[in-house]
């Protein structure tokens, strides 16, 4: 449901992304955007999340054809129903696989205790793990009182470039996306 005429540009932009990046046909794209925009959580963050995930399609195994595979068809169905989990998060997990074993909100002492260095790691080695929500962390193996553990070196979002592109493309339209009354 279109709430204002000003909302049309962002809907057209999302339809274009669904067609060009994920291989939806025009009717499917229009249906998905209509269903998504009718959802109670339709907001600028949701729009950017969707656009970021779609812009990551070329990085998926098989690229745009991923959407025709088993996992892609499941996500396509969710989008056509106007629902679905975090597309940005899911695409980040796919394009940058890493064992998920930490939480960005954990304090340093818990990360050191819980995040195990890979077997055979030596002091100073670095390794990457995920948080299960699309973020990646680079950890360094360190010694504390004779115990090897992991210290967070830095974190990143594997889809940061796609998110920046999505924001740049959406920025002219985001002011038109009004929250539901």
Task: Assess whether 90 and 112 both reside in one domain.
Answer: no
Is 8:2 a contact under the CB 8 Å cutoff? yes
Is residue 144 located within the same domain as residue 113?
A: yes
**Residue 127 C-alpha from the chain's centroid:** 21
| Residue-range definition of the domain harbouring residue 44 | 5-96+159-174
Residue 102 lies in a domain: no
Residues 15 and 80 both lie in one domain: yes
Residue with tokens 């390794």: 127
pLDDT digits (tens, 9 = 90+) for 9-54: 888 999 999 999 999 999 999 999 999 988 888 888 888 899 999 9
Residues 142, 163, single domain; the answer is no
Cα 6 to Cα 24: distance, rounded to the nearest angstrom: 24
Q: What is the largest CA-CA distance in the chain?
A: 65
What six digits make up the tokens of 92? 């980040």
Task: Looking at the chain, list the stretches that DSSP marks H as alpha helix, in order from N- to C-terminal side.
Answer: 8-22, 26-38, 44-55, 70-80, 87-95, 108-114, 160-174
Note if the pTM is more than 0.75.
Answer: yes
Could you tell me if 150 and 164 lie in one domain?
Answer: no
How many domains does one find in the chain?
2
């Amino acid at each position: 449901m279109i709430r204002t005429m000003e909302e049309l540009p962002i809907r057209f932009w999302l339809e274009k992304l669904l067609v060009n990046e994920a291989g939806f046909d025009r009717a499917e794209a229009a249906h998905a955007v209509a269903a998504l925009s009718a959802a109670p959580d339709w907001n600028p963050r949701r729009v950017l999340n969707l656009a970021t995930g779609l812009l990551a399609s070329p990085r998926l195994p098989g690229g745009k054809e991923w959407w025709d595979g088993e996992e892609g068809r499941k996500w396509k169905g969710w989008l056509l129903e106007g629902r679905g989990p975090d597309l940005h998060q899911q695409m980040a997990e796919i394009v940058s696989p890493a064992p998920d074993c930490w939480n960005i909100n954990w304090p340093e002492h818990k990360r050191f205790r819980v995040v195990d260095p890979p077997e055979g790691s030596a002091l100073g080695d670095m390794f990457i793990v995920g948080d299960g929500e699309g973020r990646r962390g680079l950890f360094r193996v360190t010694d504390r009182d004779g115990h090897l553990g992991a210290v967070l070196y830095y974190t990143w979002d594997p889809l940061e470039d796609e998110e920046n592109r999505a924001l740049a493309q959406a920025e002219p339209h985001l002011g038109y996306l009004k929250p539901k009354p």
